[in-house]
């Protein structure tokens, strides 16, 4: 009985193991979508998606692409993740009308399989990270630094083409001459392997294909595979929003005005809390982006001057200097001309106008306060009308009054009596000199 029970237990554990293994390696197809400019959020999304596909032993990852390009640093992170992925990756330019321009071309070349939908295009892969304008190779207008960047990008894309067995000659033209191709032209020139109208069509064409992944042959069974769309989570969506240079700049300005509000209303808490959070979010976004240190320095100077306006009686001079510094810094903030990573000029103008209106209001309040009569200190005491509350026992010329919430000793040139109205004419230390106000008949 004991031996039979033991064999049944072992058989049950083996069956559970087989079941868990079948669940883990379910042969699913994971779909990731890059449908915006390529930046830090896109890179993290693709890297995490490929890692999940490997952990769940998916048989294939389909990366749908519709992008005008983006940051070279983020693109290289994505390419490295694709090259290191144990799961084969298909880059699919989809839907019709989509494009894999600039950085998208590198990602397409790095993938195990390249495919495009009808009516799509790719190319124009000249690097513009530092404002390089595409010009014909050999043009004298291209300086040494630009040539180095173009040569590096050309070698990178040509190496990917050789690795995947694609057209390396066209890859070099895409970098040096910024040429583009339609889906049909790309198929004829050997830039892509497949043309498919939709995802089902693509998976049907890939069924049974054998790929070399990490030195091992992998056969795809995609005709009836489970398709799982791996959408970005809330963190990736939030990262994509705050790493937009326009949003980062707005967060920075909200932070500045929040701190100014807190300085004018100590203890209100709302301005300080909101301002601090927005500033920290802006700083986090900027450290992920290719920013110009000169632009950041001017923005920080502008912020400091606008905050200083709340403390120094400059009547707007320091504040408007801060606005000028802020506009200059915002204009040169991004150290790239990559699509989607420039600060919109209308936004800069609008924020400068809002800042100017706030400072005008601040100067107006200061000028009105300057014209008001002083009601505290020595100037507030002299000229005040008060009533004698008590007399000194040994001196009929001395008495006590209550003024500005305090009891003051007073001295008069004429005798005083309780309840008498007097006017403060001078102050000598803790003693006030008063003059009797004649009674009105």
CATH code for the domain of 426 = 2.40.50.140
Low-confidence ranges of the chain (pLDDT < 50): 1, 10, 14-25, 130-141
Structure tokens at 405: 């919430």
**3-state secondary structure (DSSP) of residue 362:** helix
403 and 314 assigned to the same domain: no
DSSP element (H, E) containing 421: strand 421-428
Conformational region of residue 215, where left means phi above 0, alpha means psi within -120 to 50, and beta covers everything else: left
Contacts of 95 (CB under 8 A, 6+ apart): 66, 117, 198
Output the pLDDT for position 375. 53
Cβ–Cβ < 8 Å for 134, 199: no
> Which string of DSSP letters, residue by residue, matches 114-142?
EEE-TT-EEE-----TT-PPP--TT-TTS
Output the pLDDT for position 137. 46
Distance CA 195, CA 122 (A): 13
Choose one of 355, 371, 387: the last residue of a domain.
371
Task: Tell me whether residue 111 is in a domain.
Answer: yes
Output the pLDDT for position 10. 47
DSSP element (H, E) containing 397: strand 395-403
Choose one of 196, 211, 235: the last residue of a domain.
235
Task: Please state, in angstroms and as integers, the Cα–Cα distance from residue 425 to each residue in 390, 407, 436, following that order.
Answer: 19, 17, 10
249 and 218 assigned to the same domain: no
CATH number assigned to the domain comprising residue 122: 3.90.226.10
Task: Tell me whether residue 348 is in a domain.
Answer: yes
Output the pLDDT for position 235. 92
DSSP element (H, E) containing 281: helix 270-288
304 and 285 assigned to the same domain: yes
403 and 361 assigned to the same domain: no
The 10s digit of each residue's pLDDT in 78-97 is 999 999 999 999 999 999 99
345 and 429 assigned to the same domain: no
Distance CA 319, CA 400 (A): 47
Output the pLDDT for position 386. 85
Output the pLDDT for position 237. 94
216 and 331 assigned to the same domain: no
192 and 265 assigned to the same domain: no
353 and 411 assigned to the same domain: no
CA 366 to mean position of chain CA atoms = 35
167 and 315 assigned to the same domain: no
Task: Tell me whether residue 441 is in a domain.
Answer: no
The 10s digit of each residue's pLDDT in 26-69 is 589 999 999 999 999 999 999 999 999 999 999 999 999 999 99
Output the pLDDT for position 315. 66
317 and 225 assigned to the same domain: no
Side-chain half-sphere CA neighbours of 268 within 13 A? 14
Neighbours of 290 (CB within 10 A): 18
34 and 67 assigned to the same domain: yes
Cβ–Cβ < 8 Å for 297, 335: no
Nearest CA-CA partner of 312 in 350, 267, 363: 363
Cβ–Cβ < 8 Å for 100, 107: yes
Output the pLDDT for position 89. 97
Distance CA 221, CA 53 (A): 16
176 and 51 assigned to the same domain: yes
Number of separate domains in the chain: 3
Choose one of 235, 256, 280: the last residue of a domain.
235
Where in the sequence is the domain holding 325, given as residue range(s)?
A: 244-371
């Amino acid at each position: 009985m004991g031996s039979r029970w033991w064999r049944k237990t072992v058989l049950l554990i083996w069956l559970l193991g087989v079941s868990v293994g079948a669940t883990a390696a379910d042969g699913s197809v994971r779909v990731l979508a890059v449908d915006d400019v390529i930046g830090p959020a896109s890179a993290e999304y693709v890297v995490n998606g490929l890692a999940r596909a490997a952990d769940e032993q998916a048989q294939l990852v389909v990366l749908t692409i519709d992008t005008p390009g983006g940051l070279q640093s983020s693109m290289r992170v994505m390419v490295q993740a694709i090259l290191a992925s144990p799961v084969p990756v298909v880059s699919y330019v989809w839907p019709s009308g989509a494009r894999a321009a600039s950085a998208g071309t590198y990602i397409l070349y790095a993938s195990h399989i390249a495919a495009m939908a009808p009516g799509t295009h790719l190319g124009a892969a000249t690097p513009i990270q530092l404002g390089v304008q595409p010009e014909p190779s050999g043009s004298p207008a291209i300086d040494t630094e630009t040539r180095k960047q173009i040569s590096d990008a050309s070698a990178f894309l040509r190496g990917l083409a050789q690795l995947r067995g694609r057209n390396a000659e066209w890859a070099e033209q895409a970098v040096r001459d910024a040429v583009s191709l339609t889906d049909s032209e790309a198929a004829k020139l050997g830039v892509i392997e497949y043309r498919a109208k939709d995802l089902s069509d693509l998976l049907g064409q890939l069924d049974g294909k054998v790929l070399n992944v990490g030195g091992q042959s992998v056969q795809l069974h995609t005709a009836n595979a489970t398709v799982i769309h791996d959408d970005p989570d809330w963190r990736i969506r939030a990262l994509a929003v705050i790493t937009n240079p326009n949003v980062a700049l707005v967060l920075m300005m909200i932070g500045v005005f929040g701190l100014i509000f807190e300085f004018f209303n100590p203890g209100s808490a709302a301005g300080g809390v909101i301002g601090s959070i927005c500033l920290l979010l802006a700083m986090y976004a900027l450290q992920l982006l290719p920013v110009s240190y000169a632009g950041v320095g001017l923005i920080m100077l502008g912020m400091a001057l606008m905050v200083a306006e709340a403390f120094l009686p400059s009547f707007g001079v320091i504040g408007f200097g801060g606005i000028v510094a802020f506009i200059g810094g915002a204009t040169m903030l991004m150290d790239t001309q990559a699509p989607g990573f420039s600060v919109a000029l209308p936004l800069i103008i609008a924020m400068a106008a809002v800042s100017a209106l706030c400072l005008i209001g601040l100067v107006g309040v200061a000028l009105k306060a300057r014209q008001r009569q002083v009601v505290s200190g020595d100037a507030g005491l002299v000229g005040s009308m008060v009533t004698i509350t008590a007399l000194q026992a040994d001196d009929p010329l001395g008495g006590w009054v209550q003024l500005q919430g305090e009891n003051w000793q007073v001295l008069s040139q004429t005798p005083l009596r309780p309840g008498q109205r007097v006017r403060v004419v001078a102050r000598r230390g803790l003693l006030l000199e008063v003059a009797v106000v004649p009674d009105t008949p």
